[in-house]
Structure 1
């Protein structure tokens, strides 16, 4: 979503999508090999950090990732998709706020992090500068919302249209911080 938004953005806003990984190359779920733009050690400062979900057990125990996330706690916008919420909670970026995750993992998130207000049902939840989303398609909804917050509602609607994604837009909130997203 961010790549398309950056490509079609009519104004000065740009979305430079940067993938950061622990090691190069990274082997994703189902064996997909990905070469990231940066590793944790050479990652630039970012305006937006998104933690993906999936099977996050190893990442939740990786002190390098957790320390990297803690070092970026002041990033203007932090988000997770699906079980990425577990990683944010392990890093201490989710402590006692309202959050969500995939419906199949709501009970586990509640059990492991009882101070969190884990809600089941919303596509995504905002708590300050941290956003959490439910499953994968809910992460798409959140990404479009963030495009709207950072780049304007018209850009979000056009991005969804270009992606041929049936989206019910939410009203973007006033941005908190820089007007760029990466």
Structure 2
């Protein structure tokens, strides 16, 4: 079955935070199609509306779907960037909370973790964000009364289920930019196959690293 992957876009989103995962899942699908195998992923972009968003440094990107009306998703990626306006966006936290009960996997990249924290999804769980924002995430968690444990020195982490969050999907968070690519490759390995993840990294000429930073696969020369 083809898994539906959604990537949320917003003004001041970090370009590679969303483009990196987009490339991973779409490349994995292309490699499967090349071998006449079922495509494991179909990637869609979502936005607050159908209006173009202005990413970091002025790149204009038009979402395919609005969060008010989109196909059912299996996996949702929430990238980072400047998230101040998104933290105040009416209805976004509620949408993330509702999606967390429908998805198989919800994952953040970089400061996207702040949006998951605002939705109450990180209470009594572990998360990681960009190294520059670790203290700010701890402060946001403290201010909201959340019992979030903010980790450091990891590429990505899968949060252990919280006692009071029955029904919520698997939840991952990752550090900055390239860590989101590492996490996406890990999800390809888990949700499709390790071999497809390895071939995807090779196709992208990307040196894939595990959660602890050790090299999973060096793309060059193999």
TM-score if structure 2 supplies the norm length? 0.73
Matching residue of 2:47: 21
Q: Secondary structure at the match of 2:157?
A: strand
Deviation at 1:168, TM superposition (A): 3.4
* CA gap 1:149/1:113 in 2 versus in 1, 3 angstroms: same
Q: CA separation in 2, counterparts of 1:165 and 1:135? A: 16
Matches within 5 A, 1:1-182: 1-9=24-32, 10=35, 11-23=37-49, 24-74=51-101, 75-114=103-142, 115-127=147-159, 128=161, 129-168=170-209
Count matched residues. 170
Once the two structures are superposed, residues 103-146 of structure 1 have per-residue CA deviations (whole angstroms, 9 ceiling, x without a partner) of 11111111110311101011000014000001111111001001
Q: CA separation in 2, counterparts of 1:27 and 1:67? A: 23
Q: CA separation in 1, counterparts of 2:112 and 2:96? A: 12
Q: CA separation in 2, counterparts of 1:89 and 1:15? A: 27
Q: CA separation in 1, counterparts of 2:57 and 2:156? A: 26
Q: Secondary structure at the match of 1:108?
A: helix
Q: Secondary structure at the match of 2:63?
A: coil
Q: CA separation in 1, counterparts of 2:174 and 2:87? A: 18
Q: CA separation in 1, counterparts of 2:209 and 2:140? A: 32
TM-score if structure 1 supplies the norm length? 0.89
- Structure 1 portions without partners, runs of 5+: 171-182
- Structure 2 portions without partners, runs of 5+: 1-23, 162-169, 212-222
Q: Secondary structure at the match of 2:198?
A: helix
Which consecutive aligned stretches of 4+ in structure 1 deviate over 6 angstroms post-superposition?
Answer: none
Q: CA separation in 2, counterparts of 1:97 and 1:13? A: 33
Q: CA separation in 1, counterparts of 2:175 and 2:210? A: 16
For the 8 Å contact 2:26–2:42, the answer to whether it is kept is yes
Deviation at 1:7, TM superposition (A): 0.7
Between Structure 1 and Structure 2, whose CA radius of gyration is higher?
A: 2
Ranked by relative contact order (alpha carbons within 8 Å, sequence separation 6 or more), the top structure is 1
Kindly report the root-mean-square deviation, in angstroms, between the aligned alpha carbons of the 2 structures.
1.3
